[in-house]
Amino acid sequence: MQKSHTHLVLYKTMAFALSAFYAGVAGGLYAFVLRFIEPELFNLFLSVFFLTMTVVGGLGSVMGPIAGAIVLSFLDLQLRNILSIPYIGDWLRDLSASYFSLTGVSNIQFIVFGSILIAIMLFEPLGLYGLWIRMKKYWKPWPF
């Protein structure tokens, strides 16, 4: 790249700046969604959550992280009141009451997200984007 007269440092800096711009816009909008802000809100866990979204969607694709964000936000909302899901909820309540603690049941979402991260890295490193590519490849010459 350096040989073809592309100014590497300039473009890398520009990529960094652009990413900071998007993060800034996101932060501003997030504050309106939540209606309150404090510095502690934007912690490492939030970064890890975004990383999970990106990985689920597919590293290195543009549409992937959007899909990942939709999937994971939906999952996050569902997992917040996991105890009210019909059958799994009752089973989890019994399990927590006898072996675990009921106060910590919301932490199941960490277990789920962590397992998703590991499973994607082990079985489909490109995430949803990789699945999409594979599907396209499979269906393109369809009858054969």
Query: How far is Cα of residue 132 from the mean position of the Cα atoms in its chain?
Result: 17
Stretch that binds other proteins, among 2-10, 34-42, 98-106, 130-138 (CB under 8 A): 98-106
Q: Which of 114, 133, 134, 135 binds other proteins (CB under 8 A)?
A: 114
Please tell me whether residue 51 binds other proteins under the rule CB under 8 A: yes
Q: Collapsing DSSP states into helix, strand and coil, what is residue 32?
A: helix
Which CB atom, from 67 or from 113, has the smaller least distance to other proteins? 113
Please tell me whether residue 122 binds other proteins under the rule CB under 8 A: yes
The DSSP element (H or E) to which 39 belongs, if any, is none
Q: Which of 107, 133, 134, 135 binds other proteins (CB under 8 A)?
A: 107
Task: With CA atoms as reference, report the closest residue to 78 among 99, 121, 108, 100.
Answer: 108
**Residues near other proteins (CB under 8 A):** 44, 48, 51, 55, 59, 96, 99-101, 103-105, 107-118, 121-122, 125
